[in-house]
Structures are given as C-alpha cells and as structure tokens.
Amino acid sequence: MKLTRATVESPFGRFVVEGDDDGLTRIYLPHEAASATKAWAGPVRAAAAQLEEYFAGKRADFDVDLHVAATDFQIDVWSALMTVPYGQVVTYQDIARAVGRPRAFRAVGNANGKNPFPVIVPCHRIVASNGLGGYAGGLSVKRALLALEGVSY
C-alpha cells in the first residue's frame, strides 16, 4: 500500500503521522524530518484529527488502527503502555512487571525508545524510579506532553 503523511501542529512542534489504508505505520516527532503528502489515507486523516484534539486538550484516548512491525516483547510493552491512563505516570519497573519480566526495566526503556507511535502509544507517561527518565523526542517534549495532561515533572 502507498504510505501517506499528514502534518499535525502542536504547542511544541510539528508531528507527522504516516500510514496507509490499513493503519498507521509511524508518527514522527518534532525533531525528525518528514514531510506531508497531498492526499491522506483514512487512518492517517483520523489519527491527525485525534492528535489535534489531544493537543487542544479535548481528547484523552485514541481510536486508530496501528500497523505494527515489532518483536513480541516490544508489542507487549507497547500494549502495557496503552493501559496507563491519561494524566498518570508509571515507572519502567511497573511496565516490566506488567509484561511479566520484572527485571527487564532497561529493556522496557529500549522498547519505549523504539515506539513508532509516540503520544498514541503513550511512552511519555513512563518515568524512571528516580526521575523523569528519557524520551526519544527530548525531555522538553516529554515534559510538555505530561504538562498537557496535568502532570508536573
């Protein structure tokens, strides 16, 4: 299928949503270079609209199809991330326990860093036990996403 991309402006930079008729394949963070296409596949259009609502403070959950290519562990981690409610944070250790690998908190961090669907799969809601932790989009974007959800960090 042909990939299409839509641009979504946020208060802290431009996100680009990519996908085809089967679902999303990736969301580019503000620091990543990607350009929009002229026409958008249905799932791309839907995800872009939902992200705009999220950035406007009018949406807490997403309903989009994801076209996931990943290891079983990554899929388990990303599925666990999607259970973390809007406006709450949990630790890498909490996610490691949730996927049945309590000592794999570093591996959880690596899976977080490879998450191709930031915001929709809310890896920004995962923090280190001793502080904010990392974020592929940069700590300023992570803090901004958390602040948008009412979480101070």
Which are the catalytic amino acids?
123
Q: Is 8 helix (H, G, I), strand (E, B) or coil?
A: strand
In whole angstroms, give the CA distance from residue 51 to residue 129.
Answer: 28
Q: CA-CA distances (angstroms) from residue 49 to 12, 16, 53, 60, 152?
A: 17, 12, 6, 13, 26
| DSSP code per residue over 74-123 | HHHHHHHHTTSPTT--EEHHHHHHHTT-TT-HHHHHHHHHT-SSBTTB-G
